Amino acid sequence: MQGAAKAHLAHRQRRGTRRPLPQHPDAMPEPRLLRTVADLLMPRTCPGCGAVLAYGERDVCCLCLADLPLLTPGLWATDRRWGLFRELPHVRSIGALVRYHPGNVASRLVHSLKYHGRWQVGVVMGCLMSRLLGGKGLLEGADVVLPVPITWRRRWQRGFNQSEFIARGLCQTTGIAMRTDLLLRTRHTESQTHFPYAERAGRVEGSFSLAPGAALQLRGRTVVVLDDVMTSGSTMRAAAMALAAAECAAVRCVAWSWAG
């Protein structure tokens, strides 16, 4: 933990040495005077490091963007999570943009979105996914993105589904359709973080189902199932199992981050 704290401090100290960059080219420009006045009255801070955002930085500072621990397609192909999906022939690929470790930039962005209600960070995360995953076989040719649904109880507690905001950013920049009405969460389960990997698959199996008429709409389509964090892969596998009945052309299980 001391090492992580020192790295975080060094990150904060470097802010004065780098010129701010626009967060992403698809960001809508804001009127300069309006943004300047708003920042003077209520300065915006980066959810990744807590520093006040410089002019031209939108939602996440350029240093945090540069510090994202990116994953590569080579790591996707050899990851242990593939073992959960081998019996599901319709699942053609799995992958994630970044590696999640407690305290790193990727995890701080998730926490800011998920537990502090900064939904605009989720949109930024989705935009980054669309840019940085392009050409790597996860998004090309996709017809629809399905954010992994949460139960009504979890939505009531949190107020929103974080994966929907990530999907919104991804779909805004790729043009892929997003649907939140086709895949349903039908059974509430406790958080998987408290259970060993070996028990997780059984705990969430049967937690998802297709909405009436969804199989017909998804038949022959290439579907991206999207979540914020994939740890053991059990939740994503359960969602993919529900899609087997739809006879999709292909299912791709994609997450913002891989943990563990």
The domain spans of the chain are 17-66, 73-259
DSSP bridge partners of 224: 145, 252
pLDDT of residue 244: 95
Phi-psi region of 126 (alpha: psi -120 to 50; beta: other; left: phi over 0): alpha
Average pLDDT for the chain: 83
The pLDDT score that the predictor gives to residue 151 is 84
Which of 2-6, 151-155, 204-208, 254-258 has the highest mean predicted lDDT (pLDDT)? 254-258
Predicted local confidence at residue 152, as pLDDT: 80
- The pTM score is 0.81
Q: How large is the angle between the packed helices 105-116 and 162-174, nearest 10 degrees? A: 110
- pLDDT over threshold 60, residue 125: yes
What per-residue confidence (pLDDT) applies to 122?
A: 96
Question: Confidence class of residue 191 from pLDDT cuts 50, 70 and 90?
Answer: low
Does 93 score more than 60 pLDDT?
A: yes
| Average pLDDT estimate for 225-243 | 94
Query: CB 77: neighbour CB atoms within 10 A?
Result: 11
CA distance 151 to 161: 9
pLDDT tens, 141-174? 999 999 999 988 888 888 899 999 999 999 999 9
45 vs 18, more confident: 45
Residue, of 36 and 124, whose pLDDT is higher:
124
> What pLDDT is recorded for position 28?
43
d(CA 165, CA 127): 10
Residues 243 and 183 sit within 8 Å (Cβ to Cβ): yes
Domain covering 73-259 in this structure, CATH number: 3.40.50.2020
Give the pLDDT mean for 176-201.
72
Q: What is the pLDDT of residue 139?
A: 96
Upper half-sphere CA count for residue 116 (Cβ side, 13 Å) = 16
Lowest mean pLDDT among 127-141, 157-171, 200-214: 200-214
β-pairing, 208-210 vs 183-185, is antiparallel
Residue 45 has which token pair?
């801070």
Write down the residue that tokens 């930024």 correspond to.
124
